[in-house]
Amino acid sequence: MNQTVKVETLIRTDPKTAFRVFTDEVDAWWRKAAGPMRFADGKLWEGDFEIGRVLTWEPGARLVFEWRTREFAPGEKTEVDIRFEAEGDATRVTLLHRGWEALREDHPIRAGFKTGPAFRDMIGLRWAEQLTSYRGRF
């Protein structure tokens, strides 16, 4: 079953600025659990924890990075793919979070939701909260 999460928002700026704020100011808008957020050395960090490696870095267009939390076992990861597309005088930011089907049904990140719409909705709401905070930077 496809467990890809998709969240979109519209930002009143150009794609290059939207990308720059997303990456350079991540610690200012990201609602985090522990430690400052930053992209550094080709990775995304929360404090001293490596969330994942950056796989694609195309300023103003696309950002793809691996995603894992402290609850993930070594080797477990998912993938976040973010597109920045001009739409009139704004930028549509589309976030896809995929790879959840690789995690076992009783994985702690699932919070009791094995698969299906309830799990996708839970993750989607978490990302929607993050993107709402990000949108507030403009």
Of 97, 100, 135, the C-alpha closest to 5 is: 97
The reported pLDDT for the residue numbered 108 is: 63
**The CATH number of the domain covering residues in 5-135:** 3.30.530.20
CA distance 53 to 35: 18
Beta bridge pairs of residue 19: none
Angle at 11 between CA 9 and CA 12, to 5 degrees: 150
Sequence letter at residue 9: T
Q: What pLDDT, in 10s, does the model give residues 66-79?
A: 999 888 888 899 99
Domain boundary assignment for the chain? 5-135
Of 16, 20, 69, 9, the C-alpha closest to 44 is: 69
Q: What is the pTM of this model?
A: 0.90
Bigger pLDDT: 130 vs 34: 130
Q: Using an 8 Å Cβ cutoff, are 138 and 13 in contact?
A: yes
The reported pLDDT for the residue numbered 117 is: 72
34-45 mean pLDDT: 94
100-106 mean pLDDT: 74
